[in-house]
Amino acid sequence: MNESQIETFLTVATYRSFSKAAAVLNVTQPTITSRLKNLEEILQCELFKRIGHEIFLTKEGNVFMEYAKNILIYMKHSKEISGLMKEPVIKVGFSPGYSYSFIVEMLKTIQSAGDMDIQVKEGFDSVNLSDMVLAGELDLVFTRNVLTNKKDIVSEPLFDNPLIVVLPKNHPLAKKQVIQLKDLCGETILSYRRKSTLWNLIDRQLLGIQPTTRIDLDNNEMLMQAVMNRIGIGIIPELGMDKRYAESIAIRSIPELQQIPNKVYVQYRKNTQIQKLSKKIIYSIINHKYKEVH
């Protein structure tokens, strides 16, 4: 059993077509047929059946589906062993919205662990990052979603990261300690990655609110600069507030938005190198959370 056979099986199962699978994998249709025949000989069972012009998984094929996905993941992970032994590399992923000071603190912690290369990636949202760590593209991620029933992934909750409102200190609403949703009527609301899962939840709360303008920005840093220049009011997770802006930006809360769950989880792959380093990173993050925000 090899990687190409498993990839072929999963592709045919996805598209229910030998010809489409051949196009996706950039091989001929006879190659698809040959790979599946060899795989069926190894497993000693049929994986697909034809009913008319359509292709369906057999009972054995359905059972093998979950095994095939896991086998492919393990194969990809095993290819990284030699690289890890020669030049240790840790690939870290963040959900969008963390402040620069928060990310820098974590990078310093990773760096202090010794001679290790670091690759950092900001995912589009937590769902995207979870998919990447499952696929072996990242070693450690910080997300708002927990992965369940994955034996090769450790998921640990860290703390809540409630949503806050950031606005210029001389803004009229800054005089209030707590802002109500209705207070946002007529204001320019700033967001980033508005198509993300978190912002879908925020937008549900904003239904019925009629801001003058909605401005969606590409990242948290752009949003903070826009607030500082009095362009509008931003809604961000608490850990998106950078200490660099403390003198010019006010932080307020909106009770309805703070009801949206936004917990930070750290999730990492099970191997000795990553698990040992993860403990140090978790400790550093918790310290940073309470030092910077409170």
User: Token digits for 47?
Assistant: 């994986």
Domain count, the chain: 3
Residues 253 and 282 in one domain: no
Residues 270 and 136 in one domain: yes
* Of the residues 46, 78, 110, the one at which a domain ends: 78
Beta strand pairing status for 233-237 and 89-94? unpaired
Q: Average pLDDT, whole number, for the chain?
A: 81
- Which tens digit of pLDDT belongs to each residue from 173-231? 999 988 999 899 889 999 887 887 788 888 888 887 876 788 998 888 888 899 999 99
Residues 153 and 167 in one domain: no
Residues 177 and 233 in one domain: yes
Residues 181 and 247 in one domain: yes
Higher per-residue confidence, 107 vs 5: 5
CATH code for the domain of 38: 1.10.10.10
Domain of 91 in residue numbering reads as 82-160+262-292
> Does pTM surpass 0.95?
no
CATH code for the domain of 281: 3.40.190.10
The predicted model gives 161-173 an average pLDDT of: 91
Residues 170 and 252 in one domain: yes
Residues 16 and 70 in one domain: yes
Residues 191 and 110 in one domain: no
Please check the confidence at residue 294 and state whether its pLDDT lies above 50.
Answer: no
Residues 90 and 125 in one domain: yes
Residues 142 and 22 in one domain: no
Residues 182 and 219 in one domain: yes
Residues 234 and 115 in one domain: no
